[in-house]
Structure 1
Amino acid sequence: MTVTIEDNEPQQSDPQPRELIVTLFGLYARAQSNWLPVAGLVRMMADLGVDGPAVRSSVSRLKRRDILISERHEGAVGYALSSSALEVIAEGDTRIFHRGRGTVEDGWIILVFSVPESERDRRHTLRTTLTRLGFGTVAPGVWIAPGRLARETREMLERKGLSAYAELFDGQHLAFGDLRSKVRRWWDLEGLTLQYAEFVRRHRPTLAEFGARAAPPEQAFAAYVPMLTEWRRLPYLDPGLPLSLLPAGWHGVTAEQLFNDLNDTLSGPAREHAVQVIHRRR
């Protein structure tokens, strides 16, 4: 399937400053004792085209959401990821950098949930969590995902205190209807295709530019961090559905290969630049 992104079709939005900040902490703070100095963060964000006021506003929002916490190291002011944010980012490493893809033989997990009307906030949290895990919707209150996500799903629901509202089953599709057609209904494959195509459109020129030569560290950094920030949304929308159930020429394969090539090409020099910036004196 060939997909063309026209000017009047939905475009993938540029990463927000707070998303870029989370990416920076995930990439570089964890290797620096889970801490970045304020000055280093502001300098890195400036290299990404984000000014100081936008950085401060975004950091304030991330602190209110318990993603970042203030810490001083040897008298220097800085920020660290909260313990809960560290857990989420560590879980995301596998999906983002080492994502697998299921097969029909892996089967499925089916989740059925019921939340009392008096706990509507829990229902919203549960739905948001299942969407983040990549579940598709079979019917109201009935969600489905590839079988390989069973452990991740169980651990996520237990950690969020949602397991009491859900029943989790594993099984196979036995009969009635074409499974390929059903997968198209359970997941928004058309929307995913457009997002994958847009990722390729936006970032294929970067690979063409740096694929044949060593990427200068500052340029690599400026290209790599936004690219990774955009990519990390996609593995949570596409749970690694079996290729045999997806449209021919599934654009996610092309996009994933592009991401892997860009990661191999840019991550090293980008880290070199980030470390220099973090340790630069005021």
Structure 2
Amino acid sequence: MQYSPHLNYLIDAFREQRPIRAGSLIITIYGDAIAPRGGTVWLGSLIHLLEPLGLSQRLVRTSVFRLSKESWLLPEQIGRRSYYSLTASGRRRFEKAFKRVYVPVYPDWDGTWCLAVLSQLSAEQRRTVREELEWMGFGALAPTVLAHPRCDRSEVMATLQELDALDHTLLFETKRQDPLASKALRQQACECWNLQQLSDSYRNFLNRFRPVWQELKDKSQLDPQECFIARTLMIHEYRKVLLRDPLLPEELLPVDWEGRSARQLCRNLYRLIYAAAEQHLSQILETAEGPLPEPSPAFYKRFGGLN
């Protein structure tokens, strides 16, 4: 099938990646498309869904098998067919990974900071805790001191508990203060979180998907398969950038922060094509009971509302 010119370019670019990280793309599809519709599909229909993106049957089977070994997916054999569902831990990990993608706005910052001091941890445990906290959006003020201007303290404590590091990590919360950031604080934020590199990633995202938006918004009729591919590639790329974004308050960001435009583009394109993409999912994917169930009510709350 011939798609819009720039979408064809993105498909070709994805196919030419070496190695093709099929497992990561399957995670995107489960989180974006399958989880809201029951979370279970027949493997054969998933293989069919991924064919236009250049993923071979063997590659999909191998990738799904690895995801099951990593406790993301749970296999079930019914007759000669294999069905893969999200595990309970997999669903929690999906929700944690994807909840920031679809939120419409972020809460205002009140000027408080959460500080985590890791000096009482062993060197090996400190590396593990630091990596996890940085994934959650913390930045390093010093080798053993991490900071976050807007985090869920209970989530941080639960993470430290899971890593068996809670009793050896010092957590402090500063007093509420004027959230207007000084020049020095903004400069410090740029260094701690490498905002220039992140801004470059957002700019690359905009350069790749803005032409897709221009192509599709002017069409009188949207093709379901084309919309599914555009939505999948967009969310896949946006998720990869967003998971490196600490989502700092506006007060700490540069005036020309590209993340704002990237989020607006993602929201606008998603709202334009989601319905047609859902038609394609309904046509291709199957469960043991037959067609996919309808999306959950929470699905329609993405990006501030899809209806």
Partner of 1:98: 103
Counterpart Cα distance in 2 of 1:148 and 1:18: 29
Counterpart Cα distance in 1 of 2:168 and 2:46: 41
Partner of 1:133: 136
Structure 2 CA distance for partners of 1:165 and 1:275, relative to 1, 3 Å: farther
Partner of 1:36: 41
Q: What secondary structure sits across from 1:185 in the alignment? A: helix
Q: What secondary structure sits across from 1:147 in the alignment? A: coil
Give the deviation of 1:258 after TM superposition. 0.6
Q: What secondary structure sits across from 1:111 in the alignment? A: strand
Give the counterpart letter for 2:64 in structure 1: V
Structure 2 CA distance for partners of 1:239 and 1:90, relative to 1, 3 Å: same
Counterpart Cα distance in 2 of 1:29 and 1:46: 17
Return the match for 2:253 from 246, 249, 259.
Answer: 246
Return the match for 1:264 from 271, 274, 287.
Answer: 271
Partner of 1:5: none
Q: What secondary structure sits across from 1:233 in the alignment? A: helix
Query: Counterparts in 2 of 1:69-218, with a 5 A limit?
Result: 69-73=74-78, 76-98=81-103, 100-101=105-106, 103-113=108-118, 114-117=120-123, 120=124, 122-172=125-175, 178-213=184-219, 214-218=221-225
Give the counterpart letter for 2:23 in structure 1: R
Counterpart Cα distance in 2 of 1:45 and 1:116: 44
Structure 2 CA distance for partners of 1:56 and 1:41, relative to 1, 3 Å: same
Structure 2 CA distance for partners of 1:27 and 1:176, relative to 1, 3 Å: closer
Unaligned segments of structure 2, at least 5 residues: 1-12, 291-307
2:53 matches 1:51: no
Q: What secondary structure sits across from 2:115 in the alignment? A: strand
Give the counterpart letter for 2:45 in structure 1: G
Counterpart Cα distance in 1 of 2:164 and 2:271: 38
Give the counterpart letter for 2:198 in structure 1: L
Structure 2 CA distance for partners of 1:151 and 1:209, relative to 1, 3 Å: farther
Identity %: 26
Counterpart Cα distance in 1 of 2:66 and 2:170: 35
Length, aligned pairs only: 268
Structure 2 CA distance for partners of 1:168 and 1:103, relative to 1, 3 Å: same
Counterpart Cα distance in 1 of 2:154 and 2:104: 15
Does 240-249 or 34-43 show the bigger shift? Answer: 240-249
Give the deviation of 1:103 after TM superposition. 4.7
Structure 2 CA distance for partners of 1:33 and 1:103, relative to 1, 3 Å: closer
Does 177-186 or 161-170 show the bigger shift? Answer: 161-170
Structure 2 CA distance for partners of 1:26 and 1:176, relative to 1, 3 Å: closer
Partner of 2:27: 22
Counterpart Cα distance in 1 of 2:187 and 2:29: 40
CA contact (8 A) 2:22 2:60 kept: yes
Counterpart Cα distance in 1 of 2:37 and 2:261: 34
Give the counterpart letter for 1:181 in structure 2: Q
CA contact (8 A) 1:102 1:146 kept: no
Give the deviation of 1:73 after TM superposition. 4.9
CA contact (8 A) 1:218 1:270 kept: yes
Does 52-61 or 164-173 show the bigger shift? Answer: 164-173
Give the deviation of 1:272 after TM superposition. 1.5
CA contact (8 A) 1:134 1:239 kept: yes
Structure 2 CA distance for partners of 1:205 and 1:176, relative to 1, 3 Å: closer
Partner of 1:67: 72
Compute the RMSD of aligned alpha carbons: 2.8
Structure 2 CA distance for partners of 1:144 and 1:243, relative to 1, 3 Å: same
What TM-score, normalized by structure 1, do the two folds share?
Answer: 0.84
CA contact (8 A) 1:221 1:271 kept: yes
Listed one character per residue, the Cα deviations across residues 49-78 of structure 1 (whole Å, up to 9, x for unaligned) are: 211122122223222222222113576312
Give the counterpart letter for 1:69 in structure 2: L
Give the counterpart letter for 2:281 in structure 1: A
CA contact (8 A) 2:74 2:87 kept: yes
Structure 2 CA distance for partners of 1:265 and 1:28, relative to 1, 3 Å: same
Listed one character per residue, the Cα deviations across residues 112-166 of structure 1 (whole Å, up to 9, x for unaligned) are: 123224xx2x333312211211111100111111234434323333344442332
